[in-house]
Amino acid sequence: MKQSKLTDIITRLGGALEKDAGRGLVVCSTNVLGYALFREHGLQILPDESHEIDTGGSCVLIVSARADVMSGLALRIKDAVEADVTKESIASFCLKLAELLKAKRDSKEPGWEAVAMKDAVSMAIVHFSKATNLEKKREPRKRIDPFTGQELPLHDEEPGMELGGWGEADPMYHLQWARRSLRGAMDISEGRRGSIAADLGPIMVCGVAGIMAGKRWLPLVDRATKLTTGLIRRIVARLVRLKCDPSYAQAVLQEMLARSTSKNRR
């Protein structure tokens, strides 16, 4: 992503703070709170201490009544930049964010949360503008022939590409694609709120791993997973019982099953 576009995305996140008290930034989740909390890189943003994950005092705890908006802002900034910067750059930003929030909280000024979040947006623009100039470009996908070991480049724009398919050098590429697709669908404009259960790990459905994105379950299927029409039907039925939207999972699984079946017939 170009630096100007990345800066524009973070700026729009800052603009969302001015609308409806920033409620459009809240990241929905299937947990008991109904929204995701930011608990990463030594920083936990919580509505109260009952939600703290014990780390032996190694984390900075920010307890605030606006933890939903504050966490949503931090999660969305991280989600916007993680495809273009290194993990080290994100970690260093989180350390700066923790110091900023702690200083604003300790000031005990009325409305410190709103000021802190605006300052966090400005800090993110400066931090990641510098970081993107130093990052290396993402390496192209590769397909490896298991018999010869020969590496073949595989470009995203090639027709018939498979996500985590046979010979994929990075079997988790389909997860990266799903995250980019979800990021593109997230809309912080007024009246629409993106959602992702960022604080949840993999969820098993009928023996198949996946992650929750709002009410959608995103399957994490690689070439070792044996798909059948019966398995897909059981997964859909289970998702319906869990009151989840099965449409995305069903479409992805049926497409992957069709591709694997067509290859076997050749």
Residue-wise pLDDT for 57-113, tens only, equals 788 999 999 999 999 999 999 888 887 788 888 889 999 999 999 999 999 888 899
Average pLDDT score over residue span 254-259:
81
pLDDT of residue 114: 92
State the Cα–Cα distance between residues 219 and 238, nearest whole angstrom. 13
Which residues make Cβ contacts (< 8 Å) with residue 212, sequence separation at least 6?
29, 30, 196, 197, 200, 203, 218, 244
pLDDT of residue 195: 41
Residue-wise pLDDT for 14-36, tens only, equals 888 888 888 888 888 767 788 88
Sheet (strand 208-213) strand order: 203-205, 208-213, 216-219
Cβ-defined contacts of 162-166 (< 8 Å, 24+): 162/256, 162/259, 163/256, 164/221, 164/222, 164/223, 165/223, 165/256, 165/259, 166/223, 166/263
Which range has the worst mean pLDDT, 46-55, 56-65, 173-182, 234-243? 173-182
> Could you write out the DSSP letters of every residue in 65-85?
TTHHHHHHHHHHHHHHHTTTS
- Is 0.85 topped by the overall pTM? no
State the Cα–Cα distance between residues 104 and 137, nearest whole angstrom. 36
